[in-house]
């Protein structure tokens, strides 16, 4: 009986992770390539965000909250920092750049030339 309940809970957690990851994917899909570039520019260039970058990031964070990210990667305190980074890359970065890398990098280049 306890094993059956554990399996059901695990299935619900998997479903919750899948739903959270799907919501994040939809949020990224709705962004223009330039907006993605604005979100990643501060970390890419290792600098503080501009006012425009901060604004776009704040709007995105209203949809993609830390709680949603944590659910999408199945976060728990036992995960190592490397595992959290790997999972975030898998859910957050890789899907965004797959197929859009060239356009996002082009926008990043234009942001670099302006700053």
The structural domains of the chain, with segments of one domain joined by +, span 2-114
How many percent of the chain have pLDDT more than 70? 89
Tokens of 56: 């776009």
Burial 21-31 (b: 16+ CB within 10 A, else e): bebbeeebeeb
Closest CA to 71 of 15, 9, 8, 5: 15
pLDDT of 30-48, one tens digit each? 999 999 999 989 988 999 9
Overall pTM > 0.85: no
Helical H segments across the chain, by residue range: 2-30, 33-45, 51-63, 66-73, 81-88, 94-97, 101-114
């Amino acid at each position: 009986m306890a094993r059956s309940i554990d399996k059901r809970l695990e299935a619900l957690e998997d479903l919750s992770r899948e739903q959270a990851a799907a919501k994040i994917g939809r949020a990224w899909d709705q962004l223009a390539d330039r907006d993605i570039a604005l979100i990643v520019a501060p970390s890419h260039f290792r600098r503080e965000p501009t006012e425009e970058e901060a604004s776009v990031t704040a709007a995105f964070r209203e949809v993609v909250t830390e709680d949603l990210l944590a659910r999408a990667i199945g976060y728990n305190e036992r995960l190592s920092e490397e595992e959290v980074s790997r999972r975030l890359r898998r859910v957050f970065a890789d899907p965004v750049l797959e197929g859009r890398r060239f356009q996002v990098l082009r926008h990043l280049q234009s942001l670099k030339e302006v700053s």
